[in-house]
Amino acid sequence: MDIITPQRLFHGTTHNLVGHFKERLLDQCYWRPGRDFGEGFYTTISAAQARIWAHRAASRSLRGDERPCVLEIELTQVPASMVPLIFLSDSLAWAEFVMAHRKVTIKSQPDPCKAHPDIIIGPMADGDTGRIIEEAVQLNKDVHWFYDQILRTTRGRKLDALRLGNQVVFSSEKWATSLRFVGYNIFTGGRWTYHDNTSSAESV
> 4-43 burial by CB neighbour count: b if 16+ within 10 A, else e?
eebeebbbbbbbeebeebeeebbeeeebebbbbbbbbbbb
In this prediction, residue 161 carries a pLDDT of 65
Q: For residue 145, what pLDDT is reported? A: 92
- pTM, to two decimals: 0.89
Q: In what order do the strands lie in the sheet with 202-203?
A: 8-14, 68-75, 179-188, 191-196, 202-203
Is the model's pLDDT at 31 over the cut of 60?
yes
CB atoms closer than 10 angstroms to residue 53: 22
Please report, rounded to a whole number, the percentage of residues in the chain having pLDDT higher than 90.
63
Q: Name the β-bridge partners of 69.
A: 13, 186
How far from 190 is each of 49, 62, 74, 203, CA to CA, in Å? Answer: 17, 21, 26, 12
Span 36-79, pLDDT tens digits: 999 999 999 999 999 999 999 999 877 778 999 999 999 988 88
Please name the amino acid found at residue 111. Answer: D
Question: What's residue 126's pLDDT?
Answer: 67
What are the pLDDT digits (tens) for 112-148? Answer: 999 999 999 999 876 677 788 888 888 899 999 999 8
